[in-house]
Structure 1
Amino acid sequence: MTATPGLGAPQSIAIASPDLLRSVFRQHAAGVAVITAQGGSGPVGFTATSLTSVSAEPPLVSFGISTGASSWPAISGTTYVGVHILGEHQRELAATFARSGADRFGAPTVWREGPEGVPLLDGVLAWLVCRVVARVPAGDHRIVLAEVVLGDPAGPGRPLLYHQGRFNGLRD
């Protein structure tokens, strides 16, 4: 095998698999968001690193969610979701919303009911309330497209990142 100029020497090549995908994306630093919604028996939410700005006109975002996630039943039927961009001071909040079986909205999580009944988390860098416009099948996940209705970009702090399976802050 010959190395491609600029790419370095090949180290290990693997056949496509879920493990390969996870390993490659551990190298990709991603911003951390929490998606919330009002479910039939109360608020639901989950940590997402798949948040993407899709379109400016109209303002659209997307995120992925597993159809096996505990939040999926609520997300599958809700009209509105909350999107929260977490700060580096919110590692524990990110971990709580990522942990299966956690009481995500119990203490110490601070939240309030926002517009359209969407649970809004306090202390985040920024938040949006969005109207779901599509749920697109994608393997064992759904890609949710949502139109921004309103939000607040003015929270203090620096963004939280997810890299190598850990929540991290930015380094200067």
Structure 2
Amino acid sequence: MSQPARTAERPSGHAHPAFGSSLPADDFKALFRGHPGGVAVITADAGDGPVALTATSVSSVSADPPLLIFSISAQSSAAAVLTRAETMVVHLLDAHDLDIAKLGATSGIDRFAETHRYSRLVTGEPVYRHVRAWARCAVIERMDAGGSTVIAAHALQSHVERDTAAGTSGDPLVYHNRSWHRLGDHSRIQ
């Protein structure tokens, strides 16, 4: 059964002035709780030490030039570094990388305490070892959006540890309704 379309009047600080109303935060969260997202971990070091965060907002924008975007919450402990870093590494994860996804999503810990999990590229960025794939990217644009920053980046270098052949399911890791899921042939519907 479908839900009725909802809009709600919001206090003036919560709505775009041109719209006059905004969908309540709980309704917006409900929209995306049912929309799965691929899982990535973003790492960077702006000179103060490495940071990492798990994100489900990574999307490709263009293949030529190779551009991607993602967003980071201002509340993330990694936000200050990621909003200053000129380059970063975007790790695209599969189900074999669940431990790295959980590591980047856990607050209050040193995500680089286990030195055997990562190394540094010759250009200095921290990169987790043995993940499905990663891309070293240069930031080309930042945009404030609500309580987040949207980052556009140009892929400069990549490594694919576990390739997914065209037409095969691979073993992607997705986040859906506050839990981790593995996609595969068992979840294919067509």
Q: Same fold (TM over 0.5)?
A: yes
C-alpha deviation, 1:98, in angstroms: 0.9
Structure 1 equivalent of residue 47 of structure 2? 40
Larger relative contact order (CA 8 Å, sep ≥ 6):
1
Aligned to 1:137: 144
Where does structure 1 lack aligned partners over 5 or more consecutive residues?
1-8
Tell me the number of residue pairs that the alignment of Structure 1 and Structure 2 aligns.
Answer: 164
Unaligned 5+ runs, structure 2: 8-22, 164-169
Q: Secondary structure at the match of 1:102?
A: coil
* Larger fraction in strand: 1
Equivalent position to 2:180, from 129, 143, 167? 167
Q: CA deviation at 1:153?
A: 2.3
Q: Pick which of 44-53 and 61-70 moved more.
A: 61-70
Counting aligned pairs with the same residue, the percent is 36
Q: Which residue of 2 aligns with 1:122?
A: 129
**1:10 pairs with 2:2:** yes
Which of 71, 84, 96 is equivalent to 1:77? 84
- Specify the code of the residue in structure 2 equivalent to 1:101: G
Give per-residue Cα distances to partners, 1:111-139, cap 9 Å, x unaligned.
00014211111121110000001101111
The residue number in structure 2 matching 1:27 is 34
Deviates more, 1:138-147 or 1:93-102: 93-102
Matched, 1:65 2:72: yes
Deviation at 1:89, TM superposition (A): 2.0
Root-mean-square deviation (Å): 1.8
Which ranges of 4 or more aligned residues in structure 1 deviate by more than 6 Å? none
> What is the identity, as a one-letter code, of the residue corresponding to 1:67?
A
